[in-house]
Amino acid sequence: MSRVVVLNAKGGCGKTTLATSLAACAAGRGRAVRLLDLDPLGAAVAWSQRRPSSLPPIRAVAADRVPLGVTRSFLLGAGGTEEVVIFDTPAGLGRPTIDLLVRDAAAVLIPVLPSAIDIGIAPRVVADVLLAGCPKEAVAVLANRVRARTRAYATLARFLDSLTIPFVAVLRDSQSYTAAAAEGCGIHEIDTAAAREERERWIPLLAWLAARGVDLREPAPSPAEPAPEAEAAATPASDAPYSEGGRAPPWRNPREP
């Protein structure tokens, strides 16, 4: 079982959207998923109730209502058969609960918005997670709800680059997330041009999670066997680097929104 914790003491930074999208992504890869909603508002559970039965199932639980005597074992994911357990946490989470959640987590994701308030709070959140005993290599931050080519994002990018933990993704302020949430879906489950473009921004995040033992990436397609005629007609490979139309393939900086 792999535990992934989405955490930030600041409210409104997109924790539920990130947690539900991760859960949907994991379910779509054939993983058994439990989504623990620690927020009394229950947004993640409400999302799961809108989820169409035609999509892969996700077991969502209102974890804020767990009886006192079983809180520790429940938060640690004990007693379940799921391969992946994702925690959607509320704002203002206290240190005792943070300690319990992150100590043995495979990954802790901290979404940060491009605002002065969020940037000011983020170092304290990171410090709380590390002081709880979570290894530094298990913690990552990501820029969330980013708008392209804004001064606010430039400030956030400089700040995140200054941290000593990985800055793994830039997720845009896209209506695709709103549309997916309204249907009980994740960004990987809607087929629009905007959603497909946004999924490209998840590639470095999913690669980082895979390195932490939570591989939610889409399997690479098997290479097709060349037809005998095509193989015979193929020209010898050149020693020159790959190029398309005489130009090097474009490189997109994953940190540019």
197 pLDDT band (50/70/90 cuts)? very high
Handedness of CA 147, 148, 153, 157 (dihedral sign): positive
Beta-bridge partner residues of 88: 6, 37
pLDDT in tens, 218-233: 887 766 655 555 544 5
Would you say 175 and 190 are in contact if contact means Cβ atoms under 8 Å apart? no
Q: Tell me the domains of the chain and their CATH numbers.
A: 2-211 (3.40.50.300)
As to burial, measured by CB atoms within 10 angstroms (0-12 exposed, 13-18 middle, 19+ buried), residue 239 is exposed
pLDDT(67) > 70: no
Q: Give the CA distances from residue 28 to residues 120, 136, 201, in Å, rounded to whole numbers and listed in that order.
A: 36, 29, 18
**pLDDT score, position 236:** 47
Exposure string over 191-227, b if 16+ CB within 10 A, otherwise e: eeeebeebbebbebbbebbeebebebeeeeeeeeeee
- Token match 């000593």: residue? 164
Angstrom distance (rounded) from CA 94 to CA 99: 9
In this prediction the pTM is: 0.81
Q: What pLDDT is attached to residue 104?
A: 86
pLDDT exceeding 70 applies to what percent of the chain?
79
pLDDT of residue 245: 43
Question: At a CB cut-off of 8 Å and minimum separation 6, what does 42 contact?
Answer: 62, 64
SS3 of 241, please?
A: coil
